[in-house]
Amino acid sequence: MELTDHRTSEAVISRIATDSRVSTASLEHTATVVGALLNGLKRRRGTQPNGLLLGRVQSGKTTAMLLLAAAARDAGEQAVVILLGTTNLLYKQNRDRLDQAFGLNTGQSDWAVIEPRALSTAGLFSRKTISSGRTLLIPILKHYKWIDRASKLIQELGIGAHLTVIDDESDIASLGDGSTIEDAPPTNAALRHLLGTASEGIYVHVTATPYAPLLLDPNDRLAPAEFALLDPGTGYIGSQQFFIDGTAAMRRTVSIDEIAQVSLGRTAPALATALGIFVAVSIKAKIDNPEMRATSMLIHPSSSVVVHRKVSRAIQLLKNEWMKALAKDDIPKDLETGCAVAGLATPKPARLRTQLSLMKTHIVNAVGTDEIDWESAPLHVLIGGNKLSRGFTVEGLTVTFVARKPGQQADTMLQRARFYGYRIGLGGLMHLFASRASMETWKQAALMEKQLWDRLYEIRNSGGGVADLRRVVNSGASVSATSNISGNLSRVRRSPWYPSKPPANEIWGRIGSELQVALEKCDYDVVERILASWSVLEPEGNQAVSTLAFGLPMVQRFMDRFREAGGKWKIAERPQRVRMDSKGFFVGLLSSGEWKEFEKSNSCGLYLAVVETEPTVMRTIPILHIAGGSFKVN
């Protein structure tokens, strides 16, 4: 049965628009984007019907996922399996949104929901459902046992050629290591069984951190063949605003000693400051936005559940101490400071005491809560680790305190940034407390994300595909894109840094002169722009793909040090013959004694090497050098 009137999609759009601030026009645009992706994947059935639906962290991917499921129903799919996360907390949050958007509790007639525990006995019911024109909807936790049960039902019904699988946070748990299906990790093997070896089942990755899916071997059953972008809407605040522009929030660096105290479950002055700011901000936010449901503070001290309990007790002791002081009409210094920071005239002690009494503290971990009732209090403090690091949306998040050691993968740090998202009405009220190391790692992850998305837009606008996108998963960042998968090994690229291949001919001739002029003028912003945008051409199939020569994160880090060092640079006194191997890679570029002398005399500098690419043709290649500097490269 092929449905063409888009009735299900229209109904979902109507319900979401009614229950949220998202406009109908924005939802219709998203529906068009996901519908086009689905149509492309339907044409790929029998080959590689896998897609990648990309959005920013907390930018509306769940809504897009629901619209994609509705589009599958309208396109005649007989079953839609939605993997709603790897934790009960995330499953519950996503399931509530699914039930509401699809009207599952209101007598709708489009969907027949197969609850996870009914999968083993749903065969007869499912056959009747399909024959009546309804679509099977199977929302399950991403765990191999549930996926195996869904797989057996799909095989029993024989509808693998009319199946769409939507995988939320697909870069976690879903991907394999390149091994055979018999030796693959359990969740990956279960997914491959569900999709079928004939590549009939459509599979869609939904994620904000696509590095791992893009590093899959192109022949992997889950490797994406097409992608679609979800542009964030008005009011979105993400890595650009937090760590590149620096306009989103007040960032406060916490000392190593205080980080250590909090990570052990103890109170530190910075944590008390953060809590004082949160209490004041919760009052100010409600004054500015009377309809705001709740504000929250997130504390991420460690992955240890023991530490979570200790931090919760420390917060309770601090709260009790402040309540006693306020009862005596004394306003604790941290609360007074918080009011000043929030731009709030200090309320009377009774008002602050009332606000403190309404504050609820939640421990969110493997043994803690799996559900938060945001309506139960005007302000909430969430304390946890991994469960608060991915997918989960924190209502009205204003103050974040992170004491955990930073991860070394960009996807880990981006997903840990729960403070990204739509923060309408919270402008000027957001605060981030973290160590200098965490701040720097987030910045590097932000630069890597910016490079990826700049390239995404370029590929989309030029009609490119996933093959082009794989070229820019990681280009010289000080953090790796993701953990190693599919036999892809990280390596360290040590200084000096220079392009692996020649740049495009049309710009190679002028780059040396432009770079030299900018250096002579000490115009380091221009120097940075030239290095960051300098592209090389690499063959990809039947076309040449433009990629950055150095990578934006590498250039950013180098230029920070270059400015500090006073902008030391040198142009080669004499040319040297450059050699390239059969694949066009530079070899033997750094053999001259002149370069070695420069390297010894400059701890950080830029060397313009003059090379003879062919008889009488001279070109200039910039070489970046930081003594002891290195970058992880995937």
DSSP string, 446-484: HHHHHHHHHHHHHHHHTT--HHHHGGGS-SS-SSBSS--
Q: What is the mean pLDDT of residues 13-25?
A: 86
Task: Write down the pLDDT at residue 3.
Answer: 42
pLDDT at residue 475 is higher than 70: no
Q: What is the mean pLDDT of residues 192-208?
A: 90
Task: Write down the pLDDT at residue 299.
Answer: 93
pLDDT at residue 541 is higher than 60: no
* Rounded Cα–Cα distance for residues 179 and 485 (Å): 11
pLDDT at residue 423 is higher than 90: no
* Rounded Cα–Cα distance for residues 475 and 478 (Å): 10
pLDDT at residue 601 is higher than 70: yes
pLDDT at residue 546 is higher than 70: no
pLDDT at residue 306 is higher than 90: no
* Rounded Cα–Cα distance for residues 419 and 279 (Å): 17
Task: Write down the pLDDT at residue 486.
Answer: 42
Highest mean pLDDT among 305-319, 390-404, 613-627 belongs to: 305-319
Q: Can you tell me which residue has the tokens 């869609």?
A: 204
Instruction: Label residue 617 left, alpha or beta by phi (over 0 means left) and psi (-120 to 50 means alpha).
Output: beta
Model confidence at 100, in pLDDT bands (50, 70, 90)? Answer: very high
Q: In the predicted model, what is the mean pLDDT of the chain?
A: 85
* Six token digits for residue 368: 């803690």
Condensed to tens digits (0 to 9), the pLDDT of residues 35-74 reads 999 999 999 998 889 999 999 988 889 999 999 999 999 9
CA atoms within 13 A on the CB side of 336: 8
218-222, 251-255, 287-291, 478-482: which has the minimum mean pLDDT? 478-482
Q: What is the mean pLDDT of residues 10-27?
A: 87
Condensed to tens digits (0 to 9), the pLDDT of residues 362-404 reads 998 877 776 788 889 999 999 988 787 777 788 889 999 998 8
**How are beta strands 295-300 and 397-402 bridged, if at all?**
parallel
Model confidence at 492, in pLDDT bands (50, 70, 90)? Answer: low
345-354, 435-444, 469-478: which has the minimum mean pLDDT? 469-478
* Angle subtended at Cα 601 by Cα 597 and Cα 607, rounded to the nearest 5 degrees: 65
Using the CB atoms, write b or e for 25-56: b if 16+ within 10 Å: ebbeebbebbbebbeebeeeeeebbbbbbbbb
Task: Write down the pLDDT at residue 594.
Answer: 81
More confident residue, 484 or 390: 390
Task: Write down the pLDDT at residue 633.
Answer: 53
Model confidence at 473, in pLDDT bands (50, 70, 90)? Answer: low
Tell me which H or E stretch contains 580: strand 579-580
- The gap from C-alpha 322 to its chain's centroid, in whole angstroms, comes to 38
3-state secondary structure at position 138 = strand
pLDDT at residue 477 is higher than 70: no
9-23, 150-164, 524-538: which has the minimum mean pLDDT? 524-538
311-325, 335-349, 452-466, 527-541: which has the minimum mean pLDDT? 527-541
* Rounded Cα–Cα distance for residues 68 and 115 (Å): 20
pLDDT at residue 289 is higher than 80: yes
More confident residue, 123 or 542: 123
pLDDT at residue 459 is higher than 90: no
Task: Write down the pLDDT at residue 130.
Answer: 93
Condensed to tens digits (0 to 9), the pLDDT of residues 322-350 reads 999 999 999 999 999 999 999 999 999 99
Task: Write down the pLDDT at residue 485.
Answer: 47
The predicted model scores a pTM of 0.76
Q: What is the mean pLDDT of residues 101-122?
A: 91
31-40, 118-127, 338-347, 532-541: which has the minimum mean pLDDT? 532-541
Task: Write down the pLDDT at residue 95.
Answer: 93
Q: What is the mean pLDDT of residues 408-433?
A: 82
* Angle subtended at Cα 63 by Cα 61 and Cα 65, rounded to the nearest 5 degrees: 70
pLDDT at residue 109 is higher than 80: yes
Model confidence at 583, in pLDDT bands (50, 70, 90)? Answer: low
Q: What is the mean pLDDT of residues 538-565?
A: 68
Q: What is the mean pLDDT of residues 447-460?
A: 84
pLDDT at residue 162 is higher than 90: yes
* Six token digits for residue 532: 């960051």
Q: What is the mean pLDDT of residues 444-461?
A: 85
pLDDT at residue 506 is higher than 70: no
Task: Write down the pLDDT at residue 9.
Answer: 92
- What's the distance, Cα to Cα, between the start and end of the chain in Å? 45
Task: Write down the pLDDT at residue 454.
Answer: 84
Task: Write down the pLDDT at residue 319.
Answer: 94
Model confidence at 478, in pLDDT bands (50, 70, 90)? Answer: low
Model confidence at 137, in pLDDT bands (50, 70, 90)? Answer: very high
Model confidence at 2, in pLDDT bands (50, 70, 90)? Answer: very low
